[in-house]
């Protein structure tokens, strides 16, 4: 996964690139691949991170997270590969290509992408709000359980510790 933003001040938790911006892609990792067993992260100050991930299901992956670009030009590239010619490429949350058994299965490329101006349908924000309001009305739960947010924060903290210490860090999720 390659994810970049404009320059962050990085002088408080609110202006921390890793916590404020990169957390979105850290959250996506668990949704797409599953729980992480261990991370090893290199960092260039607080502006750039190269993170290796080992998942509990045996998969491996990497994150390239950095700031110093532009908020008006989105940079998000997600690639997933499974053996047998099965893979998916997602570009800026709205374009994708999916192959199954080495053959094209889905291809979506909208004419434009402006994260600040879309209806929320393209980026998923509207669907999350609708789901949240429905859960309130019906007294149910949302698709995005709070426990998943907790796991994202545990992974974030493991990445930060690994980058700071220059060591692999085991990711431990407590059952709540």
Q: Say whether pLDDT at 116 is over 60.
A: no
pTM above 0.85, yes or no: no
Cα–Cα distance for residue pair 89/95, rounded to 1 Å = 8
Cα–Cα distance for residue pair 84/102, rounded to 1 Å = 7
Q: Say whether pLDDT at 83 is over 60.
A: yes
Q: State the average pLDDT for the chain.
A: 88
Q: What percent of the chain has pLDDT over 90?
A: 52
Q: Say whether pLDDT at 118 is over 70.
A: no
pLDDT in tens, 51-82: 999 999 999 999 999 998 887 777 888 898 98
Say what the pLDDT of residue 119 is.
58
pLDDT confidence bin for 6, thresholds 50/70/90: confident
Cα–Cα distance for residue pair 12/28, rounded to 1 Å = 24
Say what the pLDDT of residue 65 is.
92
Q: Which residue has the tokens 């607080």?
A: 46
3-state secondary structure of 33: coil
Q: Say whether pLDDT at 114 is over 60.
A: no
CATH class of 2-168: alpha beta
pLDDT in tens, 29-46: 998 899 999 999 999 999
pLDDT confidence bin for 105, thresholds 50/70/90: very high
Question: Smallest Cα–Cα separation from 92: which of 51, 121, 122?
Answer: 122
Angle, in degrees to the nearest 10, between helices 23-32 and 146-165: 120
Question: Smallest Cα–Cα separation from 1: which of 20, 39, 41, 29?
Answer: 29
Domain boundaries, the chain: 2-168
Average pLDDT of the segment spanning 132-155: 90
């Amino acid at each position: 996964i390659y994810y970049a933003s404009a320059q962050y001040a990085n002088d408080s938790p609110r202006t921390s690139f890793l916590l404020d911006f990169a957390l979105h892609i850290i959250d996506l990792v668990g949704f797409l691949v599953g729980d992480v067993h261990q991370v090893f992260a290199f960092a260039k100050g607080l502006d750039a991170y190269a993170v290796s991930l080992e998942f509990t299901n045996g998969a491996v992956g990497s994150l390239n997270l950095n700031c110093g670009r532009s908020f008006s030009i989105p940079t998000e590239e997600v690639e997933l590969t499974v053996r047998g010619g099965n893979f998916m490429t997602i570009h800026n949350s709205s374009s994708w290509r999916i192959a199954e058994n080495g053959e094209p299965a889905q291809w979506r490329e909208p004419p434009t992408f402006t994260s600040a101006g879309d209806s929320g349908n393209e980026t998923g924000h509207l669907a999350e709000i609708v789901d949240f309001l429905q859960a309130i009305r019906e007294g149910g739960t949302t698709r995005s359980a709070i426990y998943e947010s907790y796991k994202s924060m545990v992974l974030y903290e493991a990445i930060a510790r690994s980058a700071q210490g220059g060591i692999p860090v085991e990711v431990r999720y407590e059952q709540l």
